[in-house]
Structure 1
Amino acid sequence: MTHERVLAIFPGALGDFICFLPALERLAERSVIDVLARTEFSDLAPLNVQVGSLERFEIRSLFVSGGSQHEKVRGFFESYAATYSWLGSRQAIFEQELSSATHQKVRLFPFRPVRMRMHQAEYYLSCLDELPTISPPCVRPKPKAVEWTRAYWEQNSIGCKPMLAIAPGSGAREKNWPVNSFEAVARWWRDWVGGVVMILLGPVEEERGGYSTLCRSSLVMRGVDLGLLAALLARCSLYIGNDSGTSHLAAAVGTPTVAVFGPSDLVQWAPRGESVSILTQNVQCSPCTDSTMKSCAHRKCLTHLEPTEVIQKLAVLPAVSKLTKGGAGIRVFSEISPESYGRTAG
């Protein structure tokens, strides 16, 4: 049986792409799928999905009036039976040119849900007229990456020691739990659990700096590609991070994941996986808009989340108390309050 070729145009970052995976897998069940996105996502996509660069002539041309008439553009889109795009919604020229290039065989969607509060993964599925799935996004590390990780464990004499992965950054500084709080968790893991700590730093964290103390006495991975990062995370006993793409990836590879949420909307952005816990103060002003988040003077949704309280929650997780990978579902701990550790909010 020959399946028709379908093109998906997806402009999102890492967390967005992880949320997009269930919809992508649904498309791949009935078609041969090519995705134009960030090329670094190729190691995370299902085996039967090809990922190409979004930065190509055929896409750039659609933002110019008449661009769809170029022979190269028409030839590219005519090779597909259908096109789904989450790029260019409400941009009149792009919509018109994409419709012309595909001979109206296109479905164009807003990148974010409009006037609806729903999880991003469910939104992408709804664009395909699919019912929300109970299956979380799933990333399977490639064999070469798994072998590289095995060798890394051996080179660093990690053996069977439990590994805690910490990703202290995110795409927005305002979403980050204070770095000294992560430092307290790292000390606890080494002293109480007797484990090893791995700090994950991307280009943004490298540029911002301020992580030297956290990195002390820890293994540090800097700017590792996503395929290797997926394999590293899959081998860890526990992961903790902010609302970030790395947190979504940790959950998707099946590692017990703890995500610290402050101003973000956990209804829309909570990572989904086999074992995910969300730690949040659940203050009255959270979640908030991006503009409010960037101008917030107190940031109490994060600064009032004390490391001692977080450590108490981590200590009773099955992944820590038994040091085995287990559990299911998302557990939301919202009962943490300033009163519980003797502070007054304000």
Structure 2
Amino acid sequence: MKLARLAGPTPVRDKILAIFPGALGDFICFLPTLDKLTRDGEIDLFTRTEYGDLLPASVKMRSLECYEISRLFVSGVEEEEKLKRFFAPYSRVYSWMGSGQPDFVRNLTLLSNGKLKVFPFRPSVSRIHITDYFLSCLGAGSSDEITPRIPIRADALAWSGRLWRQSDLERKSVLVFSPGSGAREKNWPPDFYATVAEWWEKKSAGKSLAVLGPVEEERDKVGGRGDRVLALRGLELGRVAAVISRCDLYLGNDSGVTHLAAAVGAKTIALFGPTDPVQWAPRGKRVTVITRNVECSPCLSPVMKSCLHHKCLTALSPDYVIGRLEELLG
């Protein structure tokens, strides 16, 4: 007679805290590292709240702008009962914030009972891809095949479907571009994007959508030319991801939105001027980087901000970029 095998107790998973302060592009490059952490335990992630749209359901997000994090920068708070209770449940803590702040490191080390690893936010080796750097913090190997992936939320996809119907886009070829970034010095001129939008309309009788940030100049120069460009402003990231996932082609600067386009699987063209694509290019099988490789590029941020000619971007003329697009699109 066979005896029934009794199920053993469900293994208790580690409770892990991760602290990540980066901008959107940094955050998307961090996603493979976050994925690796989720395989090891239950994750609470302190980061910017707007990234919640892009996180898997298995990750619990908390805002960086909270009492528990801000107090870590204050000397001598390791005995606060509120902080002790908060950090006590975590078996491991990983932080990409505060590596150069002695009070932060000391407080978090004591509150986590020494189960803490704090990493510099940027690598000491300049030409390592940022995705590989974040993975290396966990001792993981690097590979161009390791790419961020972002699923589209069902409600955001439904919203974008309504936008397509209301804007008569369902039977048109759609170009989405994002003319902004975290630094104006990285931006291709808005008039150049407008020229590409004109070409797109003539080439395919298509429509261009511009995902715009808060800069009024972008709206006036790119989104203000009649009805050629449909300007989308102030969208939450989940909706931005859904819009880009529906397009035929995405064009953008070295920016967080360009990394987002690659992560949702869109055909992505990334324009690089002063920054280094070896370190910052979005990863994905459908990503193409266009750059002119001028002699002074890439350059350091102080040089970038004081540059008088920006020829790394102006040499990327609309005619040159359109020529490359025609080659890529066949």
User: For this structure pair, what is the TM-score category when the shorter chain's length is used for normalisation?
Assistant: over 0.9
Name the aligned partner's letter for residue 185 of structure 2.
Answer: E
Alpha-carbon offset, residue 210 of structure 1: 4.5
Distance in 1 (CA, whole Å) between partners of 2:74 and 2:169 is 54
TM-score by length of 1: 0.89
What residue identity is the alignment partner of 1:235?
Answer: R
Equivalent residue letter for 1:128: L
CA deviation string 1:133-187 (max 9, x = no partner) = 4221000111111111111111111112111001011111111111111111110
Q: 2:300 aligns with which of 280, 289, 293?
A: 289
Indicate whether 1:212 and 2:223 are aligned.
no
Q: Deviations over 1:258-289 (max 9, x none)?
A: 11100001111001123001110101111111
Any residues of structure 2 matched to 1:213-252 within 5 Å, and which? Answer: 213-215=221-223, 216=225, 217-252=228-263
Letter paired with 2:254: D
Please name the residue that 2:8 is paired with. Answer: none
Aligned pairs for 1:169-188 (under 5 A) are 169-188=180-199
Alignment of 1:159-174 (within 5 A): 159-174=170-185
Where 1:69 maps in the other structure, the secondary structure is coil
- Matched-pair contact (CA < 8 Å) for 1:61–1:68: no
Residue 87 of structure 2 is aligned to residue 42 of structure 1:
no
Letter in structure 2 aligned against 1:70: E
Aligned to 1:149: 160
Deviation at 1:316?
2.1
Counterpart of 1:108 in structure 2 is 118
% of aligned pairs identical? 47
Larger Rg: 2
* Counterpart Cα distance in 2 of 1:47 and 1:65: 35
1:89 aligns with 2:106: no
Provide the rounded CA distance (Å) in 1 between the counterparts of 2:112 and 2:268. Answer: 41
1:131 aligned to 120, 125, 141, which one?
141
Kept in 1, the 8 Å contact 2:179–2:218? The answer is no
Residue in 2 that maps onto 1:26: 36
RMSD after superposition: 1.1
CA distance in 2, matches of 1:182, 1:105: 49
* CA–CA separation in structure 2 for the residues paired with 1:226 and 1:66: 38
Q: 1:171 & 1:146 partners in 2: Cα distance?
A: 26
The answer as to whether partners of 2:265 and 2:284 remain within 8 angstroms in 1 is: yes
Corresponding residue pairs, total: 316
Match 2:279 to one of 246, 256, 268: 268
Matching residue of 2:5:
none
1:98 matched residue in structure 2: 108
Distance 1:106 1:167 in 2: 38
The offset of 1:116, in angstroms, is 4.3
User: Matched residues in 2 for 1:116 and 1:314: separation?
Assistant: 30
* Structure 1 position 255, deviation (Å): 0.2
**Counterpart-to-counterpart distance in 1, 2:35 and 2:296:** 36
Query: 1:68 offset after TM fit, Å?
Result: 2.3
Q: Which residue of 1 aligns with 2:211?
A: 200
Partner Cα distance (2:57, 2:297) in 1? 39
Partner SS for 1:211: helix
- After TM superposition, which residue ranges in structure 1, 4 or more long, deviate above 4 angstroms? none
**Structure 2: distance between partners of 1:281 and 1:67:** 52
